[in-house]
Structure 1
C-alpha cells in the first residue's frame, strides 16, 4: 500500500531528509523522491493534503496514467453471466465470446481475455456465498446425520455382505460425538439412535437439528417442514425442539458434517480390515474407537472433546426423563360404518358417533390408541390374532346394537304387550313357531316399530286380524295396515253342508284298499280290478289293457 501522506508529512511538517523518510516508511529513496516530484508537479502542498484521505491524495498524485497503467476495459455484467450460466448448455466460454463481440463497438475500450474473464467472475461469485460463523451455546443444540460411507457386516451362514448405516450425533459447543451402526435409516432405527445418543450424553439438549430425511420430516419444506408424528412425539417426551436443516444446505449443520468426516477417518478407516458378523460386534468396535476419538487432544485448542463436554455441555444439559420413550407408529384412518378402524389388518372400535370421521391411530407394541382432534377417544390392547380379528367395546356401540341378540324371548314378548294385548300374543306365537328365538326377534321388532307410524291401537287390531287368519308375520301385519283392513269388521266364515250328488264319488272311491279285498294278495285284487274295467291280457304285448287299445296296433 502506498504511503504518500506519510511521506508528505515527514517532508513538509517534520523536515526529514529522503534517507530518513525512506528508513521510517520502509520504502526506497527513489520512491520517496518520485512521490515528492509528483506532489510538486500537481501543486499539492501538505496544507492541502492534510484534510484529504489516502485515496484522495493518491488520486491527485497518480491521476495522469503512465505507460505501465493498464488500458481501460469494457466492464463485465457479472449478474448477467451468473444468470445465463443456469440455463442448459451454456458455458463460460460461450458467454465470453458474446461479451467480446459486444465490446467491439465500444472503442477505445477493450474486452477482457478469456482467462481474466473467468478469474473475475470467480472472484465475484465468492461474494455470493458468505459464510456466517455460528456461535453455539452450551447444551443448546445436537446435530444429527448419517454417513455417506457405510460399514458392512457379513452373514455367517451365507457369507453375503450387507451394508449398514452409520449414525452420528455431535453437540454444538464441545463437539462431543456419538456414533453407532444401524441396519436402516427407517423410523424405528432413527428414533432409537436419537434416544441412545441422549443416553450416551447423559442429558437432553434444547434443540435437535436433523437432516430432512423421511424418518424425521414427513413433509420436507424449506420454511415450514412437517415433522414426522412419531419423531415429534419422541421430542415432546424428552422436551426438545426439532429444527430440521434446510434442504441442500449442509452449512446449517456444519458441526455434524465435520463430525461425519472425522468419524469416517477415525472409525470407519480403522475398521476397514476387520470383518464383523453381527451388528452387536460392529457397535462394540465402534464404541472403543469412539472413546479414543472423544479423548483425542485438539490440535489448536486445549483439552479434548471429553474435557470440553465435561466443562461446557454436560452442566447445561437437562436431565433425562424417568421413563424411556416407547416408540409408537402413527397412521391416519377413517371410521367405517361399523364404527371400527383398521390397523395391521385388525379392527378396533371407536365411539359410534365418530362414524365417517378422520382419526389418528397411535400404535405401540402393546397398545392401540385412537385420537380425534388430538383427544384420545379409544384405547385397546393390541391384537396379534388372525387377520380380520375385531376388538369391539360395548360402550362404543349404540344402544340398539348393544341390546341386539342379548334379549330373552320373555323380554321381547313383554315389550310387545306394552303396545297391546294382541301384539303380545302375536310375539308369543312367533317365538313358539321359530326353532330359535333369535330368528323371531326381527319379526317382533318390525311389528313393534309399526306403532310409531300407525299408532298402537291400529297395530293391536292388525295383529289380532293376522292371528285370526293364521298368518303371524310382519308382512301380513304391514299389508293389513296399508290396506286399512284393521278397521274393517271381521266376518266369520260360514259353515257349508256336505253336497250329495250322483257324480260326486266321495273320499271312499279313492281308498286304495276295499273291505272286500282284505285277506287277498295284490295279484288277485289287481286281476279283479282289470276284469271290472274290461281289461284282458293282450297276446301281442302281454299287458292288460282294454280291447283294441294295444300300443302295437297304433
Structure 2
C-alpha cells in the first residue's frame, strides 16, 4: 500500500491543532477508521507531523503497516494493481483475492481475507486521480458506451469572401473501452452541429455503441434532471435511428464523463497546439488537418498500457462488438421509409407516383426524402446502393 505522505502528515497536523477526527476525515476525504489508525501508529512511535516530514514515503509506509505484515514470509499484495483488476466487468473482490492466493509461492504466507479486503478498500478510498481514471477505463465493456462533448477551445479560420475571422468549434467523442478518440470541426454548437458530430463519430468508429453519454447541453437536452432528463425531440429521433440509448449525466457529476473530458484534454494538448500554428480558410481545411494528427494520437502508445494504443485496443477488442451502422447516414433534414414497388415499376408517395428501375416489382425499397435539397432517393436495402434520385 503506497500512502500519500502529505495526507498522513496533514491528518496528524490537524489532530495536533485540535481538529476532530470526523472533521479531518471530511477535509481529507479519508475514512475516520483510517485516520484513527494513522494517529494510533504515530502515537505508538512518538511521531509528530514535524517528525514525519523528515521521513521518506517508504519509512512512513513501513510504520503504518499492520503488525502481521512484518513477518518475513508474508507476500504482500500489489493493491493498486489488484484494484484495477477488481474494477473490470464481472470481476468481484473475492475473485481478485483468489487470484492473489494463487500467486503466493509455496512456503510463503498470504495476508488473510479480512486484511486484504480492508486494505483494498483503503487503496480505493485514497487512490490518486490517475488510478481512479485507470479503474474507470477498466470498468467498461467493449462496444457498450461512448461519451461526447465539445472542446472549450476552438480553431480560428478566415473567410476568403469577406475577410471575417470565425472560430470553428471542436466536437469530441471517445469509445469508453478502448479509449479511441474522434474529433471534428463544426461551425458552432447548434443541435444540427451536435448531431452532425455524432453521425461522423459513429462512421469513424465504423459502428454504434449501446449508449451515448453527454452532459446536459441545451441543444440536446430540454430539461436536465438527476433521474429522468428530457431529451430534445430531434436527439430522441436520432437515437431511434441509430439505436443507441442517449443518456444525459446527472448535473454536477463531472466524474460521470471523465473519459470525454480527458479526450478533450488530449485534443487540446496533442492536436490543437499544432492547428494554432497554421492558417485556415474553411472548416474543411481544419478537418483535413485534424485527420493525420488524430491518427497519430490514437496510435500512440498508452503510458498505463505499454505496448498498446487506443487504436490497437479498438481494432482487436472493440470494433467487432459495435452495432452495425444503418445503410443510410442520418440527416436532420431527411426522412427514410420503406415502400413496395408496384407492378408498373412505380412507388407511390402520397398522391404522387415515382418511376424506379426495372426488376424491383414486388420488392421493398428504401425511400429517402431530403427536404433541404428537395430530393428523393430510392435505395436498394440489400447493399445501400442508390438506384435513382428525383427532385421534389
TM range (shorter): 0.5 to 0.7
- Can you list the C-alpha shifts for 1:326-345, whole angstroms capped at 9, x where unaligned? 3159xxxxxxxxxxxxxxxx
* Distance of 2:211 and 2:281 partners within structure 1: 36
* Distance of 2:254 and 2:328 partners within structure 1: 34
Counterpart mapping for 1:119-518 below 5 A = 133-134=135-136, 135-301=139-305, 302-328=307-333, 364-365=371-372, 366=374
Q: CA separation of 1:325/1:73 partners in 2, compared to 1, >3 Å: closer, same or farther? A: closer
Q: Equivalent residue of 1:254, what SS?
A: helix
What is the CA-CA distance between 1:200 and the residue it aligns to? 0.8
- What is the aligned-residue RMSD (CA, Å)? 3.5
Q: CA separation of 1:190/1:73 partners in 2, compared to 1, >3 Å: closer, same or farther? A: closer
Q: 1:78 aligns with which of 7, 23, 27?
A: 23
* Distance of 2:218 and 2:291 partners within structure 1: 27
- Can you list the C-alpha shifts for 1:430-479, whole angstroms capped at 9, x where unaligned? xxxxxxxxxxxxxxxxxxxxxxxxxxxxxxxxxxxxxxxxxxxxxxxxxx
Q: CA separation of 1:299/1:75 partners in 2, compared to 1, >3 Å: closer, same or farther? A: closer
**Structure exhibiting the larger radius of gyration computed from Cα positions:** 1
What is the CA-CA distance between 1:77 and the residue it aligns to? 6.5
- Can you list the C-alpha shifts for 1:236-273, whole angstroms capped at 9, x where unaligned? 11111011122222211111111000001111001111
What is the CA-CA distance between 1:222 and the residue it aligns to? 1.9
* Distance of 2:152 and 2:20 partners within structure 1: 43
What corresponds to 1:29 in structure 2?
Answer: none
TM-score calculated relative to the size of structure 1:
0.38
* Distance of 1:292 and 1:319 partners within structure 2: 26
Q: Equivalent residue of 1:243, what SS?
A: strand
* Distance of 2:16 and 2:267 partners within structure 1: 53
* Distance of 2:228 and 2:19 partners within structure 1: 45
What is the CA-CA distance between 1:297 and the residue it aligns to? 1.6
TM-score calculated relative to the size of structure 2:
0.52
* Distance of 2:209 and 2:20 partners within structure 1: 52
Which ranges in structure 2 are unaligned for 5 or more consecutive residues? 1-14, 28-124, 335-369, 376-391
* Distance of 1:71 and 1:327 partners within structure 2: 64
* Distance of 2:16 and 2:234 partners within structure 1: 66
Work out whether residues 141 and 208 of structure 1, in 8 Å CA contact, stay in contact via their aligned partners in 2: yes
Work out whether residues 230 and 328 of structure 1, in 8 Å CA contact, stay in contact via their aligned partners in 2: no
Structure with more relative contact order (C-alpha pairs < 8 Å, separation 6 or more): 2
* Distance of 1:273 and 1:147 partners within structure 2: 18
* Distance of 2:276 and 2:199 partners within structure 1: 28
Work out whether residues 326 and 364 of structure 1, in 8 Å CA contact, stay in contact via their aligned partners in 2: no
Which ranges in structure 1 are unaligned for 5 or more consecutive residues? 1-69, 83-125, 330-362, 368-383, 385-554
**Larger proportion of strand:** 2
Work out whether residues 327 and 364 of structure 1, in 8 Å CA contact, stay in contact via their aligned partners in 2: no
Work out whether residues 237 and 325 of structure 1, in 8 Å CA contact, stay in contact via their aligned partners in 2: yes
- Can you list the C-alpha shifts for 1:217-243, whole angstroms capped at 9, x where unaligned? 111122211011111111111111011
* Distance of 2:218 and 2:20 partners within structure 1: 47
